[in-house]
Chain A
Amino acid sequence: MTITLVKKILQDGSPCAKCADVLEKLEQSGHMDRIDEILIADERDPDSPGLQLAREHQVNRAPFFVVEREGQAPEIYTVYLKFVREVLEQETSESDELKEIMKDNPDLDFL
């Protein structure tokens, strides 16, 4: 299994706060060593490796994880807690995961 994390640099050159938060959580939980590669999606550079990967998988947000297992189609995770639960197999509560989805997807406010 290969895990790639894509983190984002904003148009103004500053790092994405959510990405920093996810990296910190990975560090704190000791899961950082499970990440094989970290790619940058630099909004100022459409050819940055992270943006190329986002295009390839039609992902429109960051951070996201690409999980590749031999003989299987790559899986994309845009919800950190879902990634933790399904890939890193750490217990997370469903309500925390739903809350994260709400926080990251303000467009769902109007449903």
Chain B
Amino acid sequence: MTSELLNTVDLDDELQKASPQKVIEFALNEFDNIVVSFSGAEDVVLVHMAHQIRPDIKVFVLDTGRLHAETYRFIERVREHYGVDIDVLSPDPEALRDMVRKKGLFSFYQDGHQECCGIRKIGPLRKKLQEVDAWITGQRKDQSPGTRMGIPVIQDDKLFARPDGRLVKFNPLANWSSQEVWDYIRAMEIPYNELHDRGFVSIGCEPCTRPIGPGQHEREGRWWWEEATKKECGLHGDNVK
């Protein structure tokens, strides 16, 4: 395995032009201890593509405890359809209990989604990523214009890497549009979450997700009560390269 030697910045230049399948193939060739992040939505294409190359691919889901019943059913359908091992991750019970006791079950409507998402998603995610050398996500540039334009296809994940180790993150769908994802789902007859047929484009937790109408951006279906905030923590990509 050559993963220790990967220069993710140079590789990203190359892989930006590659198809998602090629990126996944590269990732799976490079890493044995790699896992796919699946949200129970259209990122099922990652499970499909990875399963074609490695039938025993490992998958995980962040079970926030607030997903739609349809999403839980879909996760089970994917598990059965592909016969893959899906690790369903739960939040730390003490942290969750503490937050709910202090702030109730819908605190995100008052003070933003970051605290709840931090406990329900990021805590379990960080713990899971300590176990692996690489992970694959369904993040796309078009999911949230303005904040995701710089999404690399491959990156050194310093945020979640073990203190003494390295973690590589692959975003094979970074350059695909929502339309391309859906064309692929239909062409390959991939199972999908039934909520998509009811106007849900981006699917997350039940209280924080709503269907959208024609002409609305998918981001408008998530945390719609929050003001769009200006993201300014990223360093300008051209300067960093």
- Asked whether B222 is an interface residue with its Cβ less than 8 Å from the other chain, the reply is yes
Residues of A within 8 A of B55 (CB): none
Number of residue pairs A-B, CB distance < 8 angstroms: 115
Residues of B within 8 A of A60 (CB): 150, 155, 234-235, 237, 240
Residues of B within 8 A of A1 (CB): none
Interface residue count for B (Cβ, 8 Å)?
Answer: 50
CB contact under 8 A between A95 and B231, given known A106-B144, A110-B143, A111-B121: no
Interface string of B213-230 (1 = CB under 8 A from A): 000000000110000010
Q: Which residue of A lies closest to B121 (CB)?
A: A111
CB contact under 8 A between A104 and B233, given known A110-B138, A110-B202: yes
Nearest CB on B from A8, distance (A): 7
Residues of B within 8 A of A18 (CB): 232-233
Residues of B within 8 A of A94 (CB): 95, 123
- Asked whether A69 is an interface residue with its Cβ less than 8 Å from the other chain, the reply is no
State which of A54, A75, A79, A108 has its C-beta within 8 Å of the C-beta of B240. Answer: A54
Stretch of B17-25, B65-73, B110-118, B179-187 with 4 or more beta carbons under 8 angstroms from chain A: B110-118
State which of B122, B137, B237 has its C-beta within 8 Å of the C-beta of A98. Answer: B122
Q: Which residue of B lies closest to A17 (CB)?
A: B232
Residues of A within 8 A of B144 (CB): 106-107, 109-110
Report the Cα distance A111→B40, complex, angstroms. Answer: 9
A43 touches B236 (CB 8 A): yes
Nearest CB on A from B47, distance (A): 14
Report the Cα distance A103→B127, complex, angstroms. Answer: 19
B239 touches A46 (CB 8 A): yes
Report the Cα distance A107→B232, complex, angstroms. Answer: 13
Report the Cα distance A17→B231, complex, angstroms. Answer: 10
Q: Restricting to B123-170, which residues have a CB under 8 Å from any CB of A?
A: 123, 125-126, 137-140, 143-144, 147-148, 150-151, 155-156, 158-159, 163
- Asked whether B175 is an interface residue with its Cβ less than 8 Å from the other chain, the reply is no
Residues of A within 8 A of B101 (CB): none
Q: Restricting to A65-111, which residues have a CB under 8 Å from any CB of B?
A: 75-76, 78-79, 94-95, 97-99, 101-111
- Asked whether A11 is an interface residue with its Cβ less than 8 Å from the other chain, the reply is yes
**Chain A contact residues, CB within 8 Å of chain B:** 8, 10-11, 16-18, 41, 43, 46, 51, 54-55, 58-62, 75-76, 78-79, 94-95, 97-99, 101-111
List the 3 closest pairs (A to B, CB-CB), nearest first.
Answer: A98-B118, A102-B114, A99-B118
**Chain B contact residues, CB within 8 Å of chain A:** 8-9, 37, 39, 62, 95, 98-99, 113-115, 117-119, 121-123, 125-126, 137-140, 143-144, 147-148, 150-151, 155-156, 158-159, 163, 202, 204, 222-223, 229, 231-241
Give 29 CB contacts A-B under 8 Å.
A10-B232, A41-B239, A43-B239, A46-B238, A51-B240, A54-B235, A58-B8, A58-B158, A59-B240, A60-B234, A60-B240, A95-B95, A95-B119, A98-B126, A101-B122, A102-B121, A102-B122, A103-B114, A106-B148, A107-B148, A107-B151, A108-B117, A108-B125, A109-B144, A109-B222, A110-B139, A111-B39, A111-B121, A111-B137
Beyond the given pairs A59-B240, A104-B233, 13 more chain A to chain B contacts, judged by CB atoms under 8 angstroms and listed by A's residue number, are A10-B232, A51-B235, A55-B240, A60-B237, A62-B233, A95-B98, A95-B123, A98-B118, A99-B115, A102-B121, A106-B231, A107-B147, A111-B125
